[in-house]
Structure 1
């Protein structure tokens, strides 16, 4: 059985690391290379780096950061943000990314997921799904940094992209982002049960037990988190020990 993974995430804006709450209220949290070095030393299983820069200059900085992280870190890097073409994917892989996260373009660019999976391998392509839970209990996928409703149900969309060749899903709750109030276990489990590719769940981790719940109760292959590592004294090392002590199947 594959080991469950602990995955810190970094959000970049024009070369700086930021942290959001419900995809807004951004605050600067430091330099991404420094954070990557720390997470690598703390034996994180992987690092997700998502760029929200609007400018072309910001995109260029992302490529430079990917190169530097790859040179300095041993952990696998999943990098995304503004990926819209095969050329974008190829460039980031060349610069050191191990996986590429695709969000908006998975919906807007016809055939991108299928072509990318065929060209670079399914395990390289991660589809990032940002979603909101409405007051009536229904869920909806949002794109463009959480600003554009799509009318798509996240479970159905996850099945679609899995069929197109995506190798993994990065499932992000917009409502819970930065709140540290716990993962959406219900939606995570629904997606996990619907597809046969790994699911990384994110958004809301506030305690070490949230990692356990995401992995064991919801069945996620990995849990990704940011605020708990940025704003508390918890770390991937402490998280791993907590999970190992409770019999969770993580790398010891």
Structure 2
């Protein structure tokens, strides 16, 4: 059973009275369980639109999306949350700034579940949350009672990643999740990402503008252009690709 299938995915918007802009142009995509796919492409290539249609924040104009053979094309973003976790480029988007680290983690444990009015019992989870945060290696475990808005960008983004993987989602979407970080923090977070995705055998799609990361991480590489998948490289094909060859792909847009 495939983890994700997009059949003839098409998305267009009205860009004026008689003008239509195509964002996704009849995408065909199948993702198997455990694949870690890096996605690259120039501005306007359709990368974020692809993620938005998968997550449900943007409906397809036509086509189908299936997760584990379940048709989710018409399901709202909230309904798809039981399958999908997403980490955004902006560290502020994945966490609640006024809530503590422990409160954010407790919330993440309930992703996609029905929540009633019951005692949260956060004290009973503190030891577990401490051990989880220790894995990050940036001192996050010492800030369980700190409002997330007081954390550094790197700590907050690491927390977002931890929250997204806490319940082992069917599909993890990483939307340029290191782009807003300094080079050292970005490098550390990418190493952590690879470790977590590999250890948990997660199915993951990762948009990146760092071409070195696109080549180094993952076992499949998708190159997008003008709303289409221009190239879909297997692990073996990706291993043969050099950085200059990958950069040539973008020169065609100039």
TM over 0.5, shorter chain: no
TM interval, shorter chain, is: 0.3 to 0.5
Q: Which has the higher contact order (CA 8 A, sep 6+)?
A: 2
| TM-score, normalization by structure 1 | 0.38
**Over alpha carbons, which structure has the higher Rg?**
2
